[in-house]
Amino acid sequence: MNMYNYQRIFSSALVALIFSFLSFTASAEDGHNHDHAPVTNFVEGKHYHRITPTVETDVEDGKVEVLELFWYGCPHCFEFEPHLTGWKDTKADYITFTRMPAVLNRGWLSHARAYYALETMGELERIHPIFFEAIHVQGRRLRDVESMARFLSQHDVNADKFKSAYDSLYVETKINRSGQLVRQYGSSSVPTVIINGKYRTSASDAGGFENVLGVINMLAEQEAGAVATASTTEENAE
């Protein structure tokens, strides 16, 4: 093989590597550097963005929904976890927090199916941190239903029941709904947080994970006040 062929092969490989990297960073939020100065005055269009039209939420009357879009394979989502955990312990009572796996490319589908399978089995809250740690701390390659079932069986999850749930209509319906919502939210990366179906923020927008929590608290309080005002107006109208 002559030098020209070597150079051509090397160039092709380099282009493929760059393309692969860019494909990942286009969807996995580059917000892991959270050593930013705290922000006290969050600005719409800079630290968070309005979702138009507003997406209907599925929470009780008087509650404000805070929804995290994530992917188990995303290192930034894993790094965001302890921030979220601490925040959940102190969040306002009017906030309902939930997660939704985003499927921004086909490679993320298996983890989303695993999430919903565990949800229907009643194992999600227990296994969620274990699954994250297995990927990012232990380096486990949990990419398909068989490898995930073997891993989960080591943590007292019935492998056969998991595989059955993984391919269930319930999970398929959840996956389809998730894809629809991600498009409505206008999200193209994770982790992303949606506040009451009306606002979207991320670490790169807000300037770090702690600032994301500040945006959440500010907007959730604002939304809770709007809900209370609307309720009072309706009562007076009656």
Residue of 96, 63, 52 whose CA lies nearest to 185: 52
Instruction: Give the three-state DSSP class for 5.
Output: helix
Q: Which tokens in the block code for residue 45?
A: 């269009």
Residue 3 covered by a domain: no
N-terminal to C-terminal alpha carbon distance within the chain: 86
Residue 1 covered by a domain: no
Q: Which residue segment(s) compose the domain that 121 sits in?
A: 29-237
What is the pairing mode between strands 95-101 and 64-70? parallel
Q: How far is CA 60 from the centre of its chain?
A: 22
Q: Which pTM does this prediction carry?
A: 0.84
Residue 21 covered by a domain: no
Q: What is the pLDDT of residue 169?
A: 98
What residues of the chain score a pLDDT lower than 70? 1-36, 228-238
Residue 155 covered by a domain: yes
**Alpha-carbon gap, residue 234 to 238, rounded angstroms:** 6
Task: Return the CATH number at 33.
Answer: 3.40.30.10
Q: What is the pLDDT of residue 121?
A: 98
Q: What is the pLDDT of residue 37?
A: 72
